[in-house]
Amino acid sequence: MCSIGMVIQLKQAKDPIAFRGLNKYVNFSTKLALAEARIQFIDECVTKSVFPKQYWTLLRRNRVKIRSATLRRLAVNERDTLCNHLVDLERNYVTSACALDNLSPIERKSFKDYVQSIVAKQVERIQTILRRRLNHVKPVGELSVNPEQYVHNLSCVNLDKMLLEVLSPGPVFYPNGRSKQLDVEVEFKNLYAQFSVLVPPSKLDLEKLKSTLVNACYQHQSVKVKRSELVTSEHLKRLKDLQKNREIMIYKPDKEARIVLLNRTDYV
């Protein structure tokens, strides 16, 4: 392993021009490795959809809406710029490597090991800095390219692309409509009718079940529904019109994050 002492010895023993060439080799070796580390970092950001904080700042400054697509596009542009610069760095690195010809085989091996240790430390340092700059806030995504795979239409209603798009994010994004008291009472009567065949252990347990159901329903009704930033006002208008259709019901499956449309007459 080459030490600082050997570098000083090379500086004293070699021609100043030759030693300047060795310094260039160290410089371009480090720059090339750092550029490759940055490219690898950007690739990981795009894969994991986690981007540096300065991307958010840059997009806000240019009044561009912050979404996964815009963040990814910015990352790809930066990667392309680094790749273009990488060609010049590789050429300079190959040119500067000619300075190693002025060293003996033993000196060349020791000097290369020394350069590799410097490069490894610099790469580790820049990787740590880049990871600290990551913003782990989840960016706004995009509507699904194939929304039909998230919607199971078992009703008589035909769904166009806009309805499929607004249904695909799931019921968590639906606007919270005001439930009618009559509809609530009808639903409870249907529920109690299904429970009529069951024999409760005691009357107290039956009353406890009723109160639990009522509390759960009121809690669900009071929860504020998130509104997706992906859907437009036209999407919401079409969704409200669909919800007004009394011939269908919109449900969420027990396990999958999808939507099911059913004919009301088939299940009520």
Q: How far apart are CA 181 and CA 159, in angstroms?
A: 29
Per cent of the chain over pLDDT 90 is 18
User: According to the per-residue pLDDT averaged within each range, which of 38-47, 209-218, 255-264 is highest?
Assistant: 38-47
**Separation of alpha carbons 252 and 169, rounded Å:** 11
Q: CA 66, 72, 73, 79 torsion: positive or negative?
A: positive
d(CA 259, CA 164): 10
Long-range contacts of 131-134 (CB under 8 A, 24+ apart): 133/52, 133/53, 133/54, 134/45, 134/50, 134/51, 134/52, 134/53
Place of tokens 């550029």: 35
Domain range annotation of the chain: 4-135, 147-267
The average pLDDT across 244-268 equals 74
pLDDT at 21 over 60: yes
Rg (C-alpha) for the chain, rounded Å, is 32
Amino acid at 247: E
Spatial distance between the Cα atoms of 66 and 58, rounded to a whole number of angstroms = 10
Whether the pLDDT of residue 264 is over 70: the answer is yes
pLDDT in tens, 126-162: 999 999 988 877 665 566 667 777 787 888 888 888 8
Q: Which residues of 12-48 are buried (b: 16+ CB within 10 A; e: fewer)?
A: eebeeeebebbebbbebbbbbbbbbbbbebbeebeee
pLDDT digits (tens, 9 = 90+) for 85-128: 998 999 999 888 887 777 778 877 888 888 888 899 999 999 99
The arithmetic mean of pLDDT across residues 215-222, rounded, is 69
Mean pLDDT across 48-62: 88
Residue that has been written with the tokens 């249907």 in this structure? 190
Q: Considering Cα of 46, then 50, then 55, then 59, what sign does the dihedral take?
A: positive
Whether the predicted pLDDT of 200 surpasses 60: yes
Q: Is residue 37 scored above 90 in pLDDT?
A: yes
User: Which pTM was predicted?
Assistant: 0.51
Q: How far is CA 85 from the centre of its chain?
A: 28
> Which residue's structure tokens are 């639903």?
187
Beta pairing class for 51-52 and 134-135? antiparallel
Average pLDDT, the chain: 78
* Higher-confidence position of 14 and 25: 25
Closest CA to 214 of 184, 194, 193: 184
Residues 6+ apart with CB under 8 A from 71: 49, 51, 55, 56, 59, 139
d(CA 140, CA 69): 9
